Amino acid sequence: MAGANDPEPSAAYVRVNDSENPVSGVKVQQTETAILVTDCGRQDLPSQTFGTLAVTTTAQTLANLNGGDLTCARGIQLKAASTNTAAISIGGSSVVASATIANINGMPLANGDTIFLEITQLSSLYAVGVSGTQYLHWIAY
């Protein structure tokens, strides 16, 4: 997204003259609501270190695999290493990786697969591999 690094503060102004010309878009219960969203990006990454994570057959949080937690503003992008020989499953605390599709709990990533999740804390995501040690690249925004 493009935008100024340090935008000038501004106040939202929405005028609703009467019931014949309501604000369209969002309704909260029966009330028309106007929402102003300003997104100007960020100047820096939340960390300068995004080491490759070694994922085994024991489910662990990404914070544990990283050796520390990290909180970011937008989310986390994950990519299974192209050299992986088995899938990695990403999910919550009950994540399960399996060679049998019906037994998977979470989002499986085959070698080279990428996913962006709007989760802002590493400790909220778990990863587990189907077999052996697989590798997961990541970056937080």
* pLDDT tens-place string over residues 50-109: 999 999 999 999 999 999 999 998 899 999 999 999 999 999 999 999 989 999 999 999
Average pLDDT, rounded, for the chain: 83
pLDDT of 40 above 80: no
CA–CA dist 40, 26 (Å, integer): 23
CA distances from 81 to 65, 138, 140 (A): 15, 10, 17
**CATH tag, 53-140:** 2.60.120
